[in-house]
Chain A
Amino acid sequence: MSQQSVLYDVPGPRQRRITLISSLVATVLLLVGAYFLIYQPLDDKGQFSLDLWGPLVDPSDENFSLVWERIGTGFKNTLMAAALAILSSLVVGTLLAMLRIQLKSLAQRRFTGLATPVSYLLRGLTWLLSAVTRICVEVFRGLPVVITIFFVARGFPEFGVTFDTLWYLVIGLTIYNSVVIAEILRSGMEGLPGGQSEAAAAIGLAPWQTTRMILLPQAFRIMLPALISQLVVVLKDTSLGFIISYEETLSIGKQIIGALDNPIQVYVVIAVLFIVVNYTLSKLAQYVQRRLSRGRKTAGTPAQNPPPAALMSQAEGGGMGGGV
């Protein structure tokens, strides 16, 4: 809204009239367009008949309770997979971020107290480890989630490890999202003012203590909105479970369509379900972001914490690049 008032002046009487007229014209055009291009063809094919919609919207229909019970099961499965995936990717992602920060600080150390071969060995080891984690991050961030899930579901049985399909989905989502979350947290930690880790070092904290007690809590706080947006991504990605025939909302939808033959109607209902949940989540992310920026202002330390705005955009870009 603020940007709207920037792009054009506060309208005067003439401008208001023009806006009103063009609004009316636009509304009429949109309605007419929607009628002729969408409503009429759909109506011609009988897509609005109660035969197709009845089981979904009419409580007196014989299939109503059955259909909604199935959709409920499916949605519960979707939420369960999403919750498990986000929890495990938070844990793995945090560990990965800490590991990468740790390796980065170790890479600067020369291990001077030790014998020369040992110190070279340690330095080589840290270099190798950071290279490996770096490659893992790049690879799993660059692969499509669908492909990761597919590989997990195909690859694990190949090596004689079999799980429930739920776990394939959760593992696939975790691999991908933990890498993304690790990057979000890492950029959050690296974006913190250098004084934070310097002060921690000055009071004698070891590097891993600095990460755990000083950097990580602040990174979590700054990155909370980005993390919530990632939750939306995970929730959307659980719908990929239908590829490995996990019984989530979409597979259930397919079963219902198989029985009742009303694809458009079922997908409308599923889409609305997803949109409601995800819209609420993104609103929550916005609210958290607003609160966080407000909290910073009342604390009276805006000058000390300049990174958030720049960081946020960066993290959101990264989250998107990773995710959607």
Chain B
Amino acid sequence: MSVLIDKFDVFAGGFWLTLQICVLAAIGALILGAIVAVLRISPVPPLRAVGTAYVNIFRNMPLTVVMFFAAFGLPALGSNADFLRIPGLDAIFNRLGTDLPYFRFALIALVLYTAAFVCEALRSGVNAVPPGQAEAARSLGLTFGQNLRYVVLPQSWKASIVPLGSVIIAMIKNSALVGFFGVVGDLSQTADQLTSAEGYAFVPVAIGISIGYLIMTVPLGALLDRIEKRQAVAR
């Protein structure tokens, strides 16, 4: 068990890096997912087709393949994802600015993959709004944008918060994959490093890593359960 204490800084560092990835990917996925969701409900057919295609492609592809695409495809497109070296932001998330692009590639893959699920969560929320609401808003003469902004979205937000939460939890768990794609120092790569390279006993390391992930996922899941129960009562 001593490895948990001796190498506490390594575990904490891994946890911190995983947390960084998750926060950044969550922000990115929420933004991109919202954009795709808007595309999917837009009145213009080609945009709708793009949104649907995006969701179908990324939802049915393993994240592993998305990661490989990011790692091989982006360089082929002539980009090292340098646009993610946002001044100011990379002071907090220092991995964004490193010369090795793997962190940025992994982040992009995670965002692209999760955005498809975020889009579906948002859309299911929009679908949950009773049709009468939007119809009433239309008969008042609200435009499409006003309808969304004042009537549909405020209500759909409530219905999509729980699915969104599940998507974010799933994303946290998916972020474990980045450790196997060359991002040095996150929780899952720490497990590999400590057990195979530094020869520590397996069980304590496994416990440490598990605690690291459970700290992130279990409270969030419990919170979602509570929100869900409260909503069920409110309904």
Contact = CB atoms under 8 A, between A and B. Distances in A.
A247 B235 CA distance: 50
B166 interface: yes
Contact of A321 (B47, B152, B221): B221
B127 interface: yes
Contact of B45 (A23, A44, A314): A23
A188 to B, nearest CB: 16
A42 B75 CA distance: 10
A283 to B, nearest CB: 10
A135 to B, nearest CB: 10
B128 to A, nearest CB: 8
A267 B177 CA distance: 17
Q: Chain B: interface residue count, which band?
A: 35 or more
B57 interface: yes
A207 B59 CA distance: 40
B213 interface: yes
Interface string A259-295: 0000110010011001100110010000000000000
Contact of A144 (B59, B127, B176): B176
Give the one of B68, B195, B206, B224 with max A CB within 10 A: B68
Nearest to A78: B62
A111 interface: no
B166 A317 contact: yes
Given A154-B202, A263-B68, A270-B65, A232 B217 contact: no
Contacts of A47: 76
Given A41-B77, A250-B65, A139 B214 contact: yes
B44 A19 contact: yes
A258 B163 CA distance: 40
B50 A154 contact: no
Contacts of A317: 162-163, 166
A274 B62 CA distance: 8
Given A8-B138, A264-B76, 8 more contacts: A6-B131, A30-B50, A143-B210, A143-B217, A144-B188, A147-B191, A150-B191, A158-B202
Interface of B: 41, 43-47, 50, 56-57, 59-65, 68-69, 72-73, 76-78, 117, 124, 126-128, 131, 134-135, 138, 144, 147-148, 152, 162-163, 165-167, 169-170, 172-177, 180, 188, 191-192, 195-196, 202-203, 206, 209-210, 213-214, 217-218, 221, 224, 228
